[in-house]
Chains A and B, each alone.
Chain A
Amino acid sequence: MDLYREVILDHYQNPHHHGRLEHPDASYSDANTACGDEITMQLKVGPDGRITDVAFDGQGCAISQASASMLTDQVIGMTLDDVLKLGRQDILDNLGGIELTPVRLKCALLGLGVLKAAIYTYKGQKPVVEDEEE
C-alpha cells in the first residue's frame, strides 16, 4: 500500500494554483467537519463558458490538498458542465488509482465538491456541496 506516493507529496508540498485570484468570477469555501480540512476554490470563466483560471487555498491533510491541486491542473480549459460531470473515480485516477478508506475519501473529494459549489454559485444556482461518495 503506497498511499503517500511521490506525486501526492509533491502536490502537497508544492501545490499548483495555490492562493487567491484578484477578480474571481466565483468563489466558494467549505470544510470537512470531521477533520477540519478547509478549501476555498476560486475561478474565472471565459466568454465560451470554459474555465480560464482557477486557484485554491486552504489547509488540511496531504490527500485533500494534493487532490485539490491536481484538480486545478485538470479543469483549466474545461467547460463548467464538464467539470460538473467529474466524479469520485476521476479524483481517484488523478491520485494514481490509490484506494482510500471512507473517511479518507471525504478528504480526497473535498476540493471537487467545493469547486462544483463555486460553479453552481456562478450559474446562480444553490451552492450545494454534493456527496460524491455514492
Chain B
Amino acid sequence: MTIAQTHIATMTARRTGLDVRADFPILNRLINGKPLTYLDSAATSQKPRQVIEAMTDYYTTYNANIHRGVYTIAEEATAAHEAARKKIAAFIGATSWREVIFVRNTTEAINLVAYAWGRRNLKPGDEVIVTEMEHHSNLVPWFLLSEQIGFKVRYIPVTPEGLLDISVLPTLLSEKTRLVSLTHMSNVLGTITPVREVAEAAHRAGALCLVDGAQSVPHMAVNVQELGCDFLAFSGHKMLGPTGIGCLWGKRSVLEDMPPFMGGGEMIREVTYQGARYNDLPYRFEAGTPSIAEAIGLGVAVDYLQALGMAAVRQQEESLTAYALERLAEIKGVTVYGPPAARRGGAVAFTVAGIHPHDLATLLDQDGIAVRAGHHCAQPLHNKLGISASTRASFYIYNIPEEIDRLVASIQRAQKIFKV
C-alpha cells in the first residue's frame, strides 16, 4: 500500500469511526507526559461516564439490598437490578429473562456449568470437546472436573492460519461426547469461530454446546437463537461495564434440570431443618447478595452499545483492525498471528524479532501505550504457535487510527533502542 492509499484508508476509518471518546474520562489521562493510548480492551474495556454515573447514582440515592425489602429504596434497587437483567436478555436474544444468570465473570459462568451441569451429567468415559485456542478459563474447569470424574477432554485443532479446523468434527464427535465448549472469538488470534455449525454438529451427536462469548459479545451482534447454543458465558467488564458482573445464559430446559451451584440465601424457595427446595430460575443459581451496582452498571453499558448499534461497533473495529494489520505488516521483523480482518475481531497478537514482549510493552508504556504482553491466559495456544509470549494490541469503540500510528512509531523506536 502506498502512502497515499494509507492516508485514504486512515481518512475512511476516521469517517466511519464512532464519535464516543468524549464519554470516556480516562482517555484524558497523560502517561509519562503522553496521552493514554489504551490498546488493551480485550483484557478489560474502559467505562463511559454513563456507566460510572449510574453506579454512583445507585450508591448515593437508592442503595439497598434487593428482593426482600418492602421499603421504597429497596423496591427501586430491585427494579433497577431486574431491569438490567431484562436489557441483557433482549441484547443477546434470550427468550426469557429467567435464562440470564448473573455471575462475576466468564470464568465463573463456565465454572457454574462445569460444577452444576457437569457434575450431574458427566461420567467416566464421556468426552468434552474444546478447541486449541481456548482461554485457560475454558480449559482448567474441565481439567479439574475430569480429575474427579474421569471423562476425557479432546481438542478441535487450529490451522496454521489461525482458524478452527472443523473438518475433524465428524471424527471427534461420537456418542461419548456430552459437551462441545468453544470460544466465539479468540482472545489471542482474534479468530471468529463458526459456532452455529459446531453447535448443530454437537446437537446431532446428542451433545450440548457452550459458547465462551467473553470477546464476542462486546464486539459484535450475538444472538443465542441464531448461534443455536445451549450456554453463553460473558463478562460485563469487557463490554463497557464494571468488573465483578457477568452472565451465564442457558437454554431454559437445560437450566431447569440443573442442580444449584452454590448454596445460601436467595437460591432457595423453602428451607427446613430437613433440607431445602430450590428457587426458580434464575435465582436458583444466584446465592447470596449479588453485585447490585455492577448489574445496574452493566445494564447501562448495554443501553450504550445498543444506541451505537452492534453492527456499527463491528464495522468500526473491522476497519481499525484492517488498518492495524496493514501498518504492522510494514514493520520489518514483526510477525502477526491470526486470520485477516474480515474473519477476526480487534485483538491482534504479534511478536517483534529480537525484542521480548515484556521489554516491548515497557518501552510502549514510556510512550503512553497500554498493550498486553505474555501468553494472555492461552499458554497451550502459544506453545502451538512456537512462542512463549506475544504482545497483543486490542481495540474497542473509542480507538482511532492515530493510535495505531502511535503504536507503529513506538515499535520502531523500540527497534532502534534494541538495534534490531
- Chain A residues within CB distance 8 Å of chain B: 1, 3-4, 9, 34-38, 59-63, 104, 107
Contacts and interface: CB of A to CB of B under 8 A. Distances in A.
Contacts of A35: 357-358, 373-374, 389
Contacts of A60: 356, 358, 388
Contacts of B363: 4
Taking residues whose C-beta sits less than 8 angstroms from the other chain, chain B's interface range is 10 to 19
25 contacts: A3-B362, A4-B359, A4-B417, A4-B418, A9-B417, A9-B419, A35-B358, A35-B373, A35-B374, A35-B389, A36-B374, A36-B375, A36-B388, A36-B389, A37-B358, A38-B388, A61-B356, A61-B357, A61-B358, A62-B355, A62-B359, A62-B418, A63-B358, A104-B362, A107-B358
A12 B79 CA distance: 59
Given A35-B389, A36-B375, A62 B419 contact: no
Interface in B354-374: 355-359, 362-363, 366, 373-374
Contacts of A9: 417-419
Given A34-B374, A35-B373, A1 B366 contact: yes
A29 to B, nearest CB: 14
Contacts of B356: 60-62
A20 to B, nearest CB: 19
A4 B418 CA distance: 8
Contacts of B359: 4, 61-63
A37 B373 CA distance: 12
Interface string B408-420: 0000000001110
A104 B374 CA distance: 13
A31 to B, nearest CB: 9
A90 B374 CA distance: 27
A9 B355 CA distance: 10
Contacts of A1: 32, 366
A78 to B, nearest CB: 29
A65 to B, nearest CB: 8
Given A4-B418, A63-B358, A104-B358, 17 more contacts: A1-B32, A1-B366, A3-B362, A4-B359, A4-B363, A4-B417, A34-B374, A35-B357, A35-B389, A36-B379, A37-B358, A59-B388, A61-B356, A61-B357, A62-B359, A62-B418, A107-B358
A38 B359 CA distance: 15
Nearest to B358: A61
Nearest to A3: B362
Interface in B319-369: 355-359, 362-363, 366
Contacts of A38: 388
Nearest to B382: A36
A38 B387 CA distance: 13
A9 B373 CA distance: 19
A41 to B, nearest CB: 19
Contacts of A36: 374-375, 379, 388-389
Contacts of B32: 1
Contacts of B388: 36, 38, 59-60
B2 to A, nearest CB: 33
A36 B418 CA distance: 20
A47 B418 CA distance: 42
A75 to B, nearest CB: 24
Nearest to B366: A1
A35 B419 CA distance: 23
A133 to B, nearest CB: 17
A4 B357 CA distance: 14
A104 B365 CA distance: 13
A90 B363 CA distance: 24
Nearest to B360: A61
B381 to A, nearest CB: 13
Nearest to A32: B358
A55 to B, nearest CB: 20
Contacts of B362: 3, 104
A3 B364 CA distance: 12
Interface in B72-99: none
A59 B389 CA distance: 11
Nearest to A4: B417
A4 B362 CA distance: 10
A68 B417 CA distance: 21
Contacts of A107: 358
A105 to B, nearest CB: 12
A61 to B, nearest CB: 4
Contacts of A3: 362
